A = this chain, B = another copy of it.
Amino acid sequence: MQQPQKKYRVGVEVTLDVIGGKWKSVILYHLVEGKKRFNELRRLIPNISHKMLTQQLRELERDGIVLRRDYEEVPPKVEYELSEYGGGLIGVLDFFCHWGEAHLDRVYGDKSLMLEENFGGSGAEEGSE
């Protein structure tokens, strides 16, 4: 979805470009729960790199899916949230989550075996607010 010159043959391709990246929908999935700060998202998606998160957020922002609010303070504080337009994708994200779990269940018989355990259960929360 970078260059307006890009041509598509079917609407499906467009949608995949917007939310189909390796991380896009995972980011959106977490934003459905509410506003999230940059590092908050990094903790929620431990496998994503700093660079990727920035990049994907930029694209989602450019496409109008998420809103970026910069509090312009020091230290920097930025929050990301689903835009109203992006809210139209919640239904699909929910379906994805549900379908994916059911698929694991169908294929392996026990989805719980496939989902990684929680990573930050050690109470490393920071109450900077």
| Contact A11 B108, beta carbon cutoff 8 Å | no
Of B4, B7, B11, which is within 8 A of A97 by CB?
A: B11
Of B15, B106, B114, which is within 8 A of A7 by CB?
A: B114
Point out residues on A near B: beta carbons under 8 Å.
Answer: 4, 6-16, 18, 20, 22, 25-26, 29, 45, 47, 63-64, 85, 88-89, 91-93, 95-104, 106-108, 114-116
| Contact B92 A8, beta carbon cutoff 8 Å | no
Q: Within the assembled complex, what's the spacing in Å between the Cα atoms of A71 and B16?
A: 33
> Most B CB atoms within 10 A — which of A14, A20, A25?
A14
- Top 3 A-B residue pairs of the complex, sorted by shortest distance between their CB atoms: A11-B100, A14-B100, A11-B101
